[in-house]
Structure 1
Amino acid sequence: MTTSNTAPVANIIENDQQALNAAYQIADLALLERKQRDQNGILPFDIMRQWSLKGLGAIRIPKQYGGAFVSNQSLAKIFKIIAKADASVGQIPQNQFGLLSSIEQIASPEQKQKIYAGILAGKRLANGGPERYSPDVRSISTYLENIEGQYYLTGQKFYSTGASFADWLAIRALHPDGHVVLCIIDAKADGVSILNDWNGFGQRTTASGSVNLSRVAVAAEFIFDEKALGEVHQYRGAFSQLLQVAIDVGIAEAAYADTLAVIAKARPIADAKVEKASQEHYNLQEVGKLSVLLEAANLLLQDAARYLDELDGIDKVTEEQAKQASIIVALAKVYANDAALMISEKLLELGGSRSSLAEHNLDQHWRNARVHTLHDPIRWKLHAIGNYYLNGQQNARHAWI
């Protein structure tokens, strides 16, 4: 991994308002040609370059290292703003923030300084995701070996969201001593092959494909033991899930806006005996339901972000507080899931046959919602919520709760 001065010079965001302003600027860019990108699988390289140059990639770096460390409330709003404009663009940087949160817990001050300096300069970090044919997402066959004092990575990863845009990749692997480590490598290093072979019907331009590793050299100083991430007082899962929630709410907001727009143009059902589809009693009722659902999802997202901000201000978080963080974010995830799926489906129903035309590409909202909500499905969120309130238990310590 390199931290040379060849990285592009990025703007340094100093506060939450600057970050929000930059997010709206990126959203404006993301709206341009969104339909063409989605329909033709065109990756948003220019948009992600602007994301970094405007300084958005570094907004959660702690202030002592030169970052703004914006609030969770602002961060959630930023992801929602971007995802509303283009859900794929909204998802691409999500892993960077989750990874930086983990690095904050497991890296030494010297390691943090080097990594954060690169991010502040505009470098992008993505993950080499879970392994495609493993028994579950936590199983790892990718391995690290030590040959005459030099470490090398070998393995295959999939669901590597954003890898095609990244300067650095974070790879989980088995250490020769048997424990799991996180390795940061140069995305263009010898032995790294990044394939844009993601072909899901939604979130089409996230570049969530394969990363193949063939004896990739790894600097010893960028190998991190993940043991600390399993401690009972950490809430990295809640933080990671908060961004997933924000993306889902952004999709829901985009679908809701288009729902209002298509109803305004749709023809009314003849039996309704009204002049406009916006006057149909059924449409009024359905839009009313959708607005309540969206408002609830937004409020739960805000509550979850606010609670994480409270924990960020505490020197030592208790196990109970970490549990509550997971549950509060899980509550928001359930409503965000339902809002994204229901509103994007009702958009097509209430818009009528015309809304199904490819030229409008309105189905993108449902496709994006259906694919993105498959991340960390809510059936296990509901299980965790019930187990917590009935039995006081919430013992999972990973990025999915």
Structure 2
Amino acid sequence: MRAAAHVIADEAEALDVAARLAAGFRVDADTRDAERRLPRAELEKLSASGLLGITVPAEYGGAGVSARTLAEVLRLLATADGSLAQIPQNHFVYVNVLRRQGTAAQRRFFFAEVLAGRRFGNAQSEAGTKHVQDIRTRLESRPDGSYLLDGEKHYSTGALFAHWIPVLARAADDALHVAYVAADTPGVTVVDDWDGMGQRTTASGTVRLAGVAVPADRVVPHHLTFRGPQLHGAVAQLLHAAIDAGIAAAALGAAVEFVRTKSRPWFESGFETAAEDPLLIQRFGELSLAVRSSDALLRAAADAVDAAEADLTDDSAAEASIAVAAAKVQAAAAAVDTGSALFEVAGTRSALDSLNLHRYWRDARTHTLHDPARWKVQHIGRYVLNGTRPPRHGLL
């Protein structure tokens, strides 16, 4: 029988638990990546710790932490393992969907599941469609009010480890819904066919849905989220930015450790150690600025989300989305650039495959492909120059 998960009381405890878990997860992160050893034991620890329940509102027994605390939790986990941190990102997104559009009964049921340590995966994206919002998975209503679900999903991070798989689908009126499907429901097949060069242990593979029966009380009208000011996209993207910021910090830390302990000085520098080389010092200063900027923008974005949460209007939602977009653009660039610069500053030996220092760049390069930064910059520019609010499509 599964042991009950701990229930975290407040923000301070959430941060303390995240820091302790990250320290433990860091120990074997390199081996997990190199061997593509899926983090089942680590996810059980994550569930038992209570971290998965920290966004459950206080009235339902959770800590109801702020966006700032949630972002820091994801950032801390990503400093240890960029793959492992990506898995609960979807979990928190779909807890948030229930907060916004779930009925009181749905909230009571699913929030109790979350507080007990149950994990949400995701079945959202589809391959071979016209674009990311061309969702073809269908929810067909039945005479008794229940539904049949059919479709195929890709990039389904967390589904292989999930107790519940939230599925994004369209009903007869073409409106978007989320169906919360138990992972062991007949007709659900989760395939571990993810072969990305980075984030190797997220198991972001395929979910096939064939005539899956879904009770009416497991379906949430997600389309209603976008009929007014909303923070769905801002929260989801904030967590992506937190993961990028964590990877950037981890890559910088790995570079510092390597140069201090393993690098030889360039003979022209005239110094005894590589760490005294003024050219390397300059480069590390530049990398540190990029990482510090990412962290600062992440905190500012989280604060903007919290402010909008307290007073949600079109203007506050727009400000939150733009602040998150800025944080995501900066963190993505910092993660990719720092992961690459690690080799520049550490030298030839750092490129040995056996050292696996390339996992930071691979994780960053893979994760930052979720959505294009160039479009975030476009929305920032339109907002600054013309006061154009960003669109309500959930990806900003």
TM-score band, normalised by shorter chain: over 0.9
**Match for 1:296: what amino acid?**
S
Matched position secondary structure for 1:398: coil
- 2:183 corresponds in structure 1 to 187
Q: Are residues 1:330 and 2:309 paired?
A: no
Work out whether residues 102 and 236 of structure 1, in 8 Å CA contact, stay in contact via their aligned partners in 2: yes
- 1:220 corresponds in structure 2 to 216
Once the two structures are superposed, residues 178-237 of structure 1 have per-residue CA deviations (whole angstroms, 9 ceiling, x without a partner) of 322110110111111001111110011011110001111101111111222112311211
**Match for 2:300: what amino acid?**
D
**Match for 2:273: what amino acid?**
K
- 1:118 corresponds in structure 2 to 113
Once the two structures are superposed, residues 338-376 of structure 1 have per-residue CA deviations (whole angstroms, 9 ceiling, x without a partner) of 111111111111111110112211000000110111112
Q: Are residues 1:43 and 2:34 paired?
A: no
CA distance in 1 between partners of 2:223 and 2:314 (Å):
17
Q: Tell me, which stretches of 5 or more residues in structure 1 are unaligned?
A: 1-5
CA distance in 1 between partners of 2:303 and 2:316 (Å):
13
Work out whether residues 268 and 280 of structure 1, in 8 Å CA contact, stay in contact via their aligned partners in 2: yes
CA distance in 2 between partners of 1:241 and 1:55 (Å):
23
Matched position secondary structure for 2:149: strand
Work out whether residues 7 and 118 of structure 1, in 8 Å CA contact, stay in contact via their aligned partners in 2: no
Task: Find 1:127's aligned residue among 105, 122, 125.
Answer: 122
Q: Are residues 1:142 and 2:104 paired?
A: no
CA distance in 1 between partners of 2:271 and 2:283 (Å):
17
Matched position secondary structure for 1:160: coil
Q: How does 1:1-400 map to 2 (within 5 A)?
A: 8-149=3-144, 150-264=146-260, 265-314=262-311, 317-400=312-395
Once the two structures are superposed, residues 20-66 of structure 1 have per-residue CA deviations (whole angstroms, 9 ceiling, x without a partner) of 12112221221122112111111100111111111111100110010
Matched position secondary structure for 1:46: helix
In structure 2, do the counterparts of structure 1 residues 208 and 396 end up closer, same or farther at CA, with 3 Å as the change threshold?
same
Matched position secondary structure for 2:353: coil
CA distance in 1 between partners of 2:136 and 2:65 (Å):
36
Work out whether residues 54 and 65 of structure 2, in 8 Å CA contact, stay in contact via their aligned partners in 1: yes
Once the two structures are superposed, residues 281-336 of structure 1 have per-residue CA deviations (whole angstroms, 9 ceiling, x without a partner) of 2101100111111111111111111121222223xx11011111110111111110
RMSD: 1.2
Matched position secondary structure for 2:168: strand
**Match for 2:9: what amino acid?**
E
Work out whether residues 153 and 216 of structure 1, in 8 Å CA contact, stay in contact via their aligned partners in 2: yes
How far residue 398 of structure 1 moved from its aligned partner, in angstroms, is: 2.6
Work out whether residues 5 and 47 of structure 2, in 8 Å CA contact, stay in contact via their aligned partners in 1: yes
Matched position secondary structure for 2:244: helix
CA distance in 1 between partners of 2:304 and 2:23 (Å):
30
CA distance in 1 between partners of 2:103 and 2:79 (Å):
37
Matched position secondary structure for 1:387: helix
TM-score using structure 2 length: 0.97
Matched position secondary structure for 2:52: helix
**Match for 1:216: what amino acid?**
V
Work out whether residues 12 and 67 of structure 1, in 8 Å CA contact, stay in contact via their aligned partners in 2: yes
How far residue 71 of structure 1 moved from its aligned partner, in angstroms, is: 1.4
- 1:3 corresponds in structure 2 to none
CA distance in 1 between partners of 2:384 and 2:251 (Å):
33
Matched position secondary structure for 2:355: coil
Once the two structures are superposed, residues 108-163 of structure 1 have per-residue CA deviations (whole angstroms, 9 ceiling, x without a partner) of 11111111011111110111121111111111111112344242111100010011
TM-score using structure 1 length: 0.96
Once the two structures are superposed, residues 246-285 of structure 1 have per-residue CA deviations (whole angstroms, 9 ceiling, x without a partner) of 1001000100111111111201111222211111121011
- How many positions carry a matched residue from both structures? 394
CA distance in 2 between partners of 1:44 and 1:32 (Å):
13
In structure 2, do the counterparts of structure 1 residues 178 and 374 end up closer, same or farther at CA, with 3 Å as the change threshold?
closer
